[in-house]
Amino acid sequence: MPEEGHPEIMKTNAIGRVYTVHPNNAECFYLRMLLHEIRGPTNFTDLRTIDGYICHTYREACQRLGLLENDNHWELTLQATLTASAEQIRELFAIILTTCNPSNPKQLWDSFKRNMSDDICTKSDKLIQN
């Protein structure tokens, strides 16, 4: 019997298997998430199309669907460290990137790049003077 609205897709009681994917395998992980959320895709572009917009990546599609956590807690964490040295803030940022899988690392970088890099000019000026 065909699926309602999709005569080319047949209804069955078969259970398919979608294997577990580690979040470090990013795009496969996000593809897997989309396979569980989007009904009746006929191609990979359908999986990346959200409200008529074709996303560049599966991750972006997951973000647009609200499947990923926001980075408010990482922003608050970095905000709380602004009295620390730029080197310490960079270290914390690196830990967040490598172990916490923030949903939008570029936005996080853009928000705190000045705090993470304000000592670099000072260090380079000292190197030039010596």
What pLDDT score does 19 carry?
A: 80
Provide DSSP, 47-113. HHEETTEE-SSHHHHHHHHT-S--SHHHHHHHHHTTTS-HHHHHHHHHHIIIII--S-HHHHHHHHH
Is pLDDT above 80 for 99? yes
Model's pTM, two decimal places? 0.54
Torsion of CA 55, 61, 65, 66, to 10 degrees: -120
Q: What is the pLDDT of residues 21-38, one digit of tens each?
A: 887 888 899 999 998 888
Average pLDDT of the chain, as a whole number: 85
Per-domain boundaries in the chain: 2-65, 72-129
